[in-house]
A = this chain, B = another copy of it.
């Protein structure tokens, strides 16, 4: 039986600057790791590879980073931290939220399949992820939604964004931004697979192979966001003990 450790964020919220001697530092490690994820994908990220990028050995990293999990958490926080946060305007909170979440997804997609790492850490405890959650809460509250709906809603929404980013990036090789031709080829493969299934068992999947694999710009992503916001507004009247 493993009791989950209390969430902490080492060296944040009043951290002491570490004295450096030979240029190796936590920031440098994160930077190097991010470059590897961007160019070679998450699977290519291992401690030796990062160390090699810094001209040293893997063991040296452990002086600055507890383990690979912490490194991944730092990477995610670094990516989340790249976002600017809108000032909530009750008149147009929905557009603000859509714009913000779209940037959040683009930001994730821009860093290869890093979203896969975000998928496992379901509850945000890093500063960057907390900032994102705070921003979304502010936008939802600006929309006049009740507390509990905002609380539940922010969970569903951030889940959707990360999962969509993951879906987007897993449709291609691990290198850089998703190439439209590659995505089309992948989805085309899925489409013909769906269409080739036995129609007597899967009448709807075979019949709807086209709509199921439709990929027109951000339409799919925006559909999900509109769906979520409409749903949230519809749930606004719900009461909780």
Contacts and interface: CB of A to CB of B under 8 A. Distances in A.
A173 B4 CA distance: 8
B134 A204 contact: yes
Interface size class on chain A is 35 or more
A68 to B, nearest CB: 14
24 contacts: A4-B172, A6-B189, A7-B190, A7-B193, A13-B197, A116-B120, A119-B119, A122-B166, A122-B167, A134-B203, A134-B204, A134-B205, A137-B204, A137-B205, A147-B208, A148-B211, A152-B211, A152-B214, A152-B223, A156-B224, A223-B238, A226-B231, A230-B234, A231-B234
A160 B156 contact: yes
Main secondary structure of the interface of A (DSSP, over half): helix
Contacts of A119: 119-120, 163
Interface of A: 1-4, 6-7, 13, 116, 119-120, 122-123, 125, 130-131, 133-134, 137-138, 141, 147-156, 159-160, 163, 166-167, 170-175, 182, 185-186, 189-190, 193, 197-198, 201-205, 208, 211-212, 214, 219-220, 223-224, 226-232, 234-235, 238, 240
